Structure 1
Amino acid sequence: MDDVAKERTVAHTAPVAAAREALVSAGAYVMSPAAVSECLGTDEHGWACFATHWEDLAPDEYAAERGTRRLRRYGHFSLTRTGELTLLPHVAFVQPEQSNPLYVDVDRNFEPLTDAFVADPLLTPLLRMLGDVAACLDDAAEWSVKVHPFRVVASADSQGAPTPEGRHRDGVTLVTSLLIGRENATGGESTVYDPDGRELLTTTLSEPGTLLLGDDRATLHGVSPIRPLDTGRPAHRDVLVTTLRAR
């Protein structure tokens, strides 16, 4: 992983500027796949290669206990203001206080990100771009970046719940959800709310590369369940959830 700031692949592009403006004024924003691809310098082939990592996720036993079939992995990075990105030692995932009501004070042990995922050409520029976006919310010298590739699975007799905890915060500064793919799925509508419950933004992430951004300090968010379009086959929804919090 190249940590030299002068070789950063992400600049303050027009898409990043638009995202910053929207986060400051409205608290949430959707970046189009074209805008995200422009920032990352990638194309359909790059997205297709990145999506293969979602075939190598591990079962989420904690979600299974609550009736949700979910696959995932987890990794923790530090990201400096100058773009130096470092993978931190793998430890249990703990939600910040007063965020996820289902797992208060629960240490959840997930399988780590694979070496291939960490080395993927899209990951470093993506995390650096998110650091550039988050700079509008906090002038942090260093970010704690937590990376969660998810696959939620549904069948004819079992809906898939991307957010079984319901409307919630993640206890961070910036919360993001990047759509990787959907297969045979209906539903999965993402909604961002203000603290009083008023809807600020509602969207269904349907095209790979679409990125939902939220100021987690000022909003709450949730995603409706998915169900199969063809009930004879399972459905799944693949996303990359990434959060940034000032260290």
Structure 2
Amino acid sequence: MQKSLTNKRFNCLTDYALETINAINLDRLTYFFGNLLSDPYLKEKYRFRRLSRFQIVDNKIIKLPHNYLFQSKKYNPLLGDIIREYPEIEDELIKLKDFAKIVLEFSEFCQLCSDSNEIAVHQIRTTTSAWQTGQPAPEGIHRDGVDLVGIFCVNRHQIEGGITSLYRSKNDPPVLSKILNPGEFLIFNDEQFFHYTSAITALRSQLGIRDVFVLTCPGLLPPAN
């Protein structure tokens, strides 16, 4: 397995990229995760979420109008064939240079591996406690049904677990299994790799938190009809 460290050497068919983006104020980003609303589509209230879509124009991120999220059951057996709606990412967060760095870094890979100029950014907090395990990927090992996926870790607080794995197929051993630490960015071709992040559990009976941005190119819109 090749592991690409720069997008200039990235092969969309064979590689995944694992990077650390320097000079990002993670504490500033983490602040905005405290304002997320619980995911209404999960019975257990351990996940909190916002979603916005963007285009890149002249190396600047342009926010697109509000829209919905849709995946078929082929890709999401848990919440597939449901038109979902989430609040938009807060404008104050979008204005941060730290946020723009993440989106623009992902867009460079999208230019190599996708014909789309649309990037969806999912802002997700998964929590865990003494009485509740947190499931970052309750749908199991899966694909998203897009060209490219990026997972940027913002924060891990008082947790164990949360191992992110990539697989060539659901029946093969993983080609990568790693805890993504704050500041690390994993980018991969969704058509080439299945992915999964294992459950998180709380340390010392305290509230545990995992904050990530999940970026996709393109977004996942409902069918036109």
TM-score in terms of structure 1 length: 0.80
**Is 1:202 the counterpart of 2:177 in the alignment?**
yes
Matches within 5 A, 1:79-228: 79=56, 82-95=58-71, 98-138=74-114, 140=115, 142-195=116-169, 197-198=171-172, 199-206=174-181, 208-228=182-202
Q: Distance in 2 between matches of 1:72 and 1:48?
A: 18
- For the 8 Å contact 1:143–1:246, the answer to whether it is kept is no
Partner residue, 2:34: 55
Aligned residues: 215
Deviations 1:57-115 (A, max 9, x none): 1111112x1x35111111011235x5353211112221267321222221111111111
d(CA) in 2 for partners of 1:172 and 1:134?
11
**How much does 1:178 deviate?**
0.5
Cα distance in 1 for residues equivalent to 2:64 and 2:168: 33
Which structure is higher in helix share? 1
Matched, 1:77 2:54: yes
Asked if the contact 1:68–1:160 (Cα under 8 Å) also holds between the matched residues in 2, the reply is no
Structure 1 residue 123, shift from structure 2 partner: 2.1
Match of 1:15 in 2: 6
Instruction: Look up the equivalent residue of 1:155 and give its one-letter code.
Output: S
Alpha-carbon distance in 2 for matches of 1:150, 1:135: 25
Q: Kindly state the Cα deviation for residue 246 of structure 1 after the two structures are TM-superposed.
A: 8.6
* Secondary structure of 2:175 counterpart: strand
Deviation by residue 1:32-80 (Cα, 9 ceiling, x = unmatched): x2xx12xxxx24xx222122111111111112x1x35111111011235
Task: Provide the residue aligned with 1:242 in structure 2.
Answer: 215
Give the 4+ runs in structure 1 shifted more than 6 A.
none
Please state whether the residue corresponding to 2:169 is helix, strand or coil. coil
Contact 1:178 1:240 in 2 (8 A): yes
Q: Which amino acid aligns with 1:205?
A: L
Contact between 1:173 and 1:244, CA under 8 Å: does it hold in 2? yes
Alignment partners' CA distance in 1, 2:55 and 2:112: 18
- Whether the aligned pair in 1 keeps the contact of 2:6 and 2:17 (CA below 8 Å) is no
Distance, in Å, in 1 between the alignment partners of 2:101 and 2:147 is 19
